[in-house]
């Protein structure tokens, strides 16, 4: 039986991985809700009731003298103060959010698939990969700017690089390799987005 439970914050960002015993007690104490594949949430009583109606649960079941309950695979915290706080990590997601999913050159808004991270001072000229030199840009602007300075490319930065001032809820940064369960996948296809970037 695999024993880890993915913990999400209230916004459904993955923040933690915890043993199932702890996960169930968080739900029991009403600090967390169980999350199913349809993003529905359950309190302890609802989850226990649902557990009686299912014959097969991927996480397995735990039995007490009076009832049995399915072991959740994903839970979400109900309160912000249960979150780890930290500096805003230099991650793709945080960079995109910091610039509001705008291209910093043309100022238009894009989906994540259409945005790139762009070195204002090109890397080939010693430009750093940090908040002071990285902006988001759309593909056309990215191609046009290429390995030049904005001024050389005849472009202007509508949004200047800056470091976020907010202290976001620290999303879990996946450093250690571990087995990602299928049920976690939808919440952490964000591994890509939440991985701290190497300078
Ligand atoms: Zn653009």
Spatial distance between the Cα atoms of 192 and 178, rounded to a whole number of angstroms:
15
Same domain, 143 and 184: no
Work out the pLDDT band at 125, boundaries 50, 70, 90.
very high
**Which range of residues forms the domain containing residue 63?**
4-85+170-194
Task: Give tens-digit pLDDT for 4-14.
Answer: 898 888 777 77
Centroid of ligand 1 to alpha carbon of 89 (angstroms): 24
58 domain residue, yes or no: yes
pLDDT greater at residue 38 or residue 148:
148
Q: Terminal CA-to-CA distance of the chain, rounded, Å?
A: 39
Number of domains in the chain: 2
- Mean pLDDT to the nearest integer, 44-72: 88
Identify which of 143, 147, 124, 121 has the alpha carbon closest to the alpha carbon of residue 132. 121
Centroid of ligand 1 to alpha carbon of 117 (angstroms): 12
Centroid of ligand 1 to alpha carbon of 145 (angstroms): 10
81 domain residue, yes or no: yes
pLDDT greater at residue 195 or residue 55:
55
Centroid of ligand 1 to alpha carbon of 94 (angstroms): 19
Same domain, 126 and 158: yes
Centroid of ligand 1 to alpha carbon of 144 (angstroms): 9
- Give me the chain's average pLDDT, please: 82
Which residues make Cβ contacts (< 8 Å) with residue 92, sequence separation at least 6?
117, 192, 193, 194, 195, 197
Asked if 20 and 28 count as a contact pair (C-beta separation under 8 A), the reply is no
199 domain residue, yes or no: no
pLDDT greater at residue 66 or residue 104:
104
Same domain, 81 and 11: yes
Which residues make Cβ contacts (< 8 Å) with residue 62, sequence separation at least 6?
20, 24, 68, 69, 71
- Predicted local distance difference test score (pLDDT) of residue 167: 46
Task: Give tens-digit pLDDT for 67-87.
Answer: 899 999 999 988 754 444 456
- The number of beta carbons lying within 10 Å of the beta carbon of residue 111 is 8
115 forms bridges with which residues in the sheet? Answer: 138
Centroid of ligand 1 to alpha carbon of 135 (angstroms): 11
- Predicted local distance difference test score (pLDDT) of residue 179: 58
CATH of the domain at 155: 1.10.30.50
């Amino acid at each position: 039986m695999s024993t880890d439970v993915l913990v999400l914050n209230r916004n459904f960002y993955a923040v933690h991985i915890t043993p199932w015993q702890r996960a169930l007690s968080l739900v029991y104490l009403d600090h967390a809700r169980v999350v199913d594949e349809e993003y529905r949430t359950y309190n302890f009583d609802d989850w226990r009731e649902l557990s009686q109606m299912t014959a097969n649960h991927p996480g397995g079941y735990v039995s007490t003298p009076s009832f049995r309950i399915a072991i959740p695979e994903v839970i979400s915290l109900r309160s912000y103060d249960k979150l780890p706080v930290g500096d805003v990590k230099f991650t793709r997601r945080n960079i995109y959010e910091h610039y509001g999913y705008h291209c910093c050159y043309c100022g238009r808004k894009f989906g994540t698939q259409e945005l790139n991270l762009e070195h204002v001072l090109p890397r080939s000229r010693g430009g750093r990969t940090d908040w002071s030199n990285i902006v988001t840009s759309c593909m056309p602007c990215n191609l046009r700017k290429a390995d030049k300075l904005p001024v050389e490319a005849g472009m202007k930065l509508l949004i200047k690089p800056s470091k976020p001032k907010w202290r976001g809820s620290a999303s879990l940064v996946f450093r250690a390799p571990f087995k990602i369960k299928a049920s976690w996948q939808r919440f952490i296809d964000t591994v890509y987005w939440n991985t701290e970037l190497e300078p």
